[in-house]
Amino acid sequence: MFERFFPDEYVASTYVIPFEKLYEEGYRGVIFDIDNTLVPHGAPADERAKKLFVRLKEIGFQSCLISNNQKPRVEMFNEEIGTKYICNAHKPSTKNYIRAMELMGTDRSNTLFVGDQLFTDVWGAKRAGMRNILVKPIHPKEEIQIVLKRRLEAVVLHFYKKRLKNKGN
């Protein structure tokens, strides 16, 4: 029942993802959510985020931000990152996942998505046919509509972890 929302992978942080290994596997584009994926909600790009995007470029990755936030928020974060971006993305609609791949010159087979929410980020990426990685939110302070979604996500993640545990036996 919940399988449609299960991430392909679930990791502690964007900053532990082995991007070099993913590049060796043939991935060439990475699409990111911003808030609670790269920085706390509403924060500008910090040193860790800046270093990540320099590293991605050095590896050879194309990157793009897609956010449901409005342009001022996305532009403020992207000022020192300098990557492609799409704001007001209406995730989980697949339209802007596809547009992001077009901007990067990649496709479903060589692009992955990284985000912190199951019902917008992961579900949209799954529906767009791309590999996705769910990360734990960076900071607990979130808008009320996200707090409510997190309660539902906890139920889905319970079944996701149960399935992983059963596969391990």
Q: Is residue 5 scored above 70 in pLDDT?
A: yes
Q: Angle at CA 19, nearest 5°, toward 17 and 22?
A: 110
Question: Mind giving me the DSSP string for 83-152?
Answer: -EEE-S--TT-SHHHHHHHHHHT--GGGEEEEES-IIIIIHHHHHTT-EEEEE--S-S---HHHHHHHHH
Triad 75, 138, 6: Cα angle to 5°: 100
pLDDT tens track for 14-30: 999 999 999 999 999 99
Contact between 28 and 63 under an 8 Å Cβ cutoff? The reply is: no
Asked if 7 and 160 touch (Cβ cutoff 8 Å), the reply is yes
With beta carbons less than 8 A apart as the criterion, state whether 126 and 106 touch.
Answer: no
pLDDT tens-digit map of 40-88: 989 999 999 999 999 999 999 999 999 999 999 999 999 999 999 999 9
